[in-house]
Structure 1
Amino acid sequence: MVNKNPRRSEEPIWWGLFGAGGTWFAMITPVTVLVLGILAPLGIIDAEAMSYERVADFVTSFIGALFVIGTLALPMWHAMHRLHHGMHDLKIHAGTLGKVLCYFVAGFITVLSVIFIYMV
């Protein structure tokens, strides 16, 4: 029988953030690590391109701020959603408290990343 009045769920919000974080972590983070962790230290990228002034200008621009917030916040939402469902799979039923705690940590990191952008 079809339920004509289904109960609304907030789960699509968490799955959306989970998917966005996983996609960011799989596609953007490796390029960021390559550029900042390998190419710049080896001198393949000009040191002037990574000067404090240029990096600060990038981070304080709109697109740079979105990049930094995405780099910090989206993988955290992915990780916390995975942790929440992983605990359930391991038969660790933390209930609503576990869910709130996981998503609070991700939200806290998101807020900290936004504050970080405004402080720069």
Structure 2
Amino acid sequence: MINQNPKRSDEPVWWGLFGAGGTWFAMFTPVTILVLGIMGPLGILDAEALSYERAADFATNIIGALFVIATIALPMWHAMHRIYHGMHDLKIHTGVVGKIACYGFAAIISALSVVFIFMI
């Protein structure tokens, strides 16, 4: 018999953030590391292109601000979801407290990234 009134779950929200964070981390983080961590220090890019003024201008532009916030926040949601379910796989059942701790930490980091970007 099919339950006509199934209990609503909040898992689609967390899985959506998990998927978005994993995709962002796989697609954009390697390019960001290549440009800022390898090409810049090796001198392949002009030093003026990575100056503080240009970086600050990028981070205060709406597109740049959204990019920086997404680069910080989305992988954090991915990591916290993986930790939460990894603890369950290791037979560490934390229940609602673990869910609040993991997702609360990701929410705090996301909020701080928004606050710090708009303080620039």
TM-score, normalization: structure 2? 0.98
- Write the distance in 2 (CA, Å) between the matches of 1:87 and 1:28: 28
- Write the distance in 2 (CA, Å) between the matches of 1:50 and 1:89: 43
Q: CA deviation at 1:94?
A: 0.7
Q: How do 1:11-90 and structure 2 match up within 5 A?
A: 11-90=11-90
Q: CA deviation at 1:4?
A: 1.3
- Write the distance in 1 (CA, Å) between the matches of 2:26 and 2:107: 21
Q: CA deviation at 1:3?
A: 1.3
- Give the aligned CA root-mean-square deviation in angstroms: 0.6
Cross-structure match for 1:102: 102
Q: CA deviation at 1:2?
A: 1.3
Structure 2 residue identity aligned to 1:68: V
- Write the distance in 1 (CA, Å) between the matches of 2:92 and 2:7: 25
Deviations 1:77-110 (A, max 9, x none): 0000000000000000011101100001000000
- Write the distance in 2 (CA, Å) between the matches of 1:93 and 1:6: 23
Structure 2 residue identity aligned to 1:76: M
Question: Does structure 1 residue 93 correspond to structure 2 residue 93?
Answer: yes
Structure 1: 4+ residue segments shifted above 4 A: none
Task: Give the percent of matched residue pairs that are identical in Structure 1 and Structure 2.
Answer: 73
Cross-structure match for 1:118: 118
Q: CA deviation at 1:46?
A: 0.8
- Write the distance in 2 (CA, Å) between the matches of 1:13 and 1:95: 17
Q: Secondary structure at the match of 1:109?
A: helix
Cross-structure match for 1:3: 3
Gaps of 5+ in 1: none
Q: Secondary structure at the match of 1:103?
A: helix
Q: Secondary structure at the match of 1:54?
A: helix
- Write the distance in 1 (CA, Å) between the matches of 2:4 and 2:47: 63
Gaps of 5+ in 2: none
TM-score, normalization: structure 1? 0.98
